[in-house]
Structure 1
Amino acid sequence: MTEAADFSQKPAPGSPRDAIVEALLELAGERHWEDIPLSDIAARANVSLSTFREFFPSKGAVLAAFMRKIDKTVLDEAGAPNPDLSPKERLFQVLVRRLEVLKPYRPGLESIGEWSLRDPFAATALNRESMNTMRFMLEAAGIDSEGPIGVLKLQGLVLAWRRVLATWFTDDSPDLAETKAVLERELSRGSAVLERVEDVGRLTSPLFSIARSFFDRRRSAGLHETSKEETPTTF
């Protein structure tokens, strides 16, 4: 039997890029985000500023790289979705695994979360990155994230995840019982909302199909008339 990966310790940086990412998260756990200059990140990572610039243009880019790194670790461990579990159960497992991977970085992530509350531009940027992350978490759980309803799923999951993290930051229990209870509640609430939205979508989809067919015919006719008018005269 393959042993489960141990995420209780931060991985040793394997490259200057990894070292920069690790350095930023360490410093974020020690200071406010606004008090972390690029030179201090480079010094903590034991790289020059020119090396820092070679990999990243800003602290925000380093943070985005961190999120993608966590995504990869979770996805590598996820495997194929278990068909014996419900979609909500599969997503619960994926997100609990994500919490395990994030555990060594909790102080830094809490500080970054506080920064996003102080800076609306930061909140917008983090929301965009979080939606990209949650798209892959949904896919790892075998849940479709495409189309208008997919956008609702993504944004709803991002908001739910913020509430889960708010509990996780202060949950010191070994089994994260309180955090898991919040995650279970948020996923149940989201599932109920999506069921209602999907019901409405099924009822209205014939109307949208009729409307789309009508506009497609109008557009096709318009293009046909335009092509006739624009055909050059030959001699």
Structure 2
Amino acid sequence: MATAKTKQKILKTFLKLLETHPYDEVSLPLLAEEAKVKLSDMRSAYASKLKLVAAFYEQIDTSVLEERDEDMGDQPARDRLFDVLMTRIDTLAECKETVRALRAAAQKDPALALDFNAIEVRSQKWMLIAAGIDVSGVKATVVSQGLSIAFGRVLDVWLDEADEGMPRTMAKLDKELDKGTSFMKRLKGVESAAKRMRSFLKKAAQGRNHRRRRGDETDDDSADFADEAPAGA
């Protein structure tokens, strides 16, 4: 069983290799060799490269959650989310070339992009939680998916921006969150319409059941009357 120290060493080596190698060239045997661990330890620690990517995202998530600004609690939800996502970008700064390699790999391989997307959506759910935005169920998945796509667009700008002040990145994030705010309003409208429709259908179904029961009672009474009628009437 790989120790926590061994797992951390493997992950660190993986991220380092991605700074100079394309994702598809970083094989597990190469990683084990560079990290100076046995393949058995490699297997015990991370069964696939996708597990390593998930561990990387989890590491970033944890850092953002630890660094979130508690004083933002009384600010509008949009501002809180902006702050959380900028904290995420700041945290990613040390791994910029790794992020570039992962983005490039996803663009080349649609199947891999779907795998990465699932990991990203899970991370963005935590970013919403960090921002104090309460969503759950199907809505949480829809919103997290939208946020994942938006954040990916922001990352593309960030990867090409040399200015440490990140004016273009912040402007892009502002724009994407504006789109997201509009989307959330539409989503709320759809939810309200869906609730009204469900209420209407429920009432309609109750009305049908009530009429059916009334009809059954009438049929029973008619049968009774028929039984009581004189023969040949």
TM-score band, normalised by shorter chain: 0.7 to 0.9
More displaced, 179-188 or 35-44? 35-44
Q: Which structure 2 residues correspond to residues 207-226 of structure 1 after superposition, within 5 A? A: 207-211=197-201
Q: Distance in 1 between matches of 2:137 and 2:203?
A: 18
Aligned to 1:110, which of 88, 97, 100?
A: 100
Give the Cα separation in 2 of the matches to 1:154 and 1:209. Answer: 27
1:38 corresponds to which residue? Answer: 28
- Describe the shift of the 1:215–1:48 C-alpha distance in structure 2 as closer, same or farther (beyond 3 A): farther
Once residues 124 and 71 of structure 2 are traced to their aligned partners in structure 1, the CA distance between those partners, rounded to angstroms, is: 16
> When the two structures are superposed, what TM-score results if normalisation uses the length of structure 1?
0.80
Which residue is equivalent to 2:113? 123
Alignment of 1:146 with 2:126, yes or no, is: no
The residue number in structure 2 matching 1:162 is: 152
1:17 aligns with one of 7, 24, 48: 7
1:191 corresponds in structure 2 to: 181
Describe the superposition over 1:120-145 as per-residue Cα deviations: whole angstroms up to 9, x where unpaired. 11011111111100000001101123
Segments ≥4 residues shifted beyond 3 Å:
209-216
Find out whether 1:57 has 2:43 as its counterpart.
no
**d(CA) in 1 for partners of 2:79, 2:148:** 17
Q: Which has the higher contact order (CA 8 A, sep 6+)?
A: 1
Computing the radius of gyration over CA atoms, which structure comes out larger, 1 or 2?
2
TM-score between both structures, scaled by the size of structure 2: 0.81
Unaligned runs of 5+ in 1: 1-13, 219-235
Contact 1:25 1:109 (8 Å CA) reproduced: no
Residues 152/35 of structure 1: CA separation in 2 closer, same or farther (3 Å cut): same
Deviation at 1:79, TM superposition (A): 5.2
One-letter amino acid of the structure 1 residue matched with residue 156 of structure 2: A
CA RMSD of aligned residues (A): 2.2
Identify the structure with the greater helix proportion. 2
From the superposition, tell whether residues 214 and 61 of structure 1 become closer, same or farther in structure 2 (CA, over 3 Å).
Answer: farther
SS class of match (2:157) = helix
How far apart, CA to CA, are the structure 2 residues paired with 1:92 and 1:212?
40
Unaligned runs of 5+ in 2: 209-233
Query: How many residue pairs get matched?
Result: 205
Aligned AA (1:127): N
Secondary structure in 1 matching 2:73: coil
SS at match of 2:47: coil
* Aligned match of 1:221: none
Q: 2:196 aligns with which of 182, 206, 217?
A: 206
CA distance in 2, matches of 1:214, 1:32: 59
Change (3 A) 1:184 1:62: same
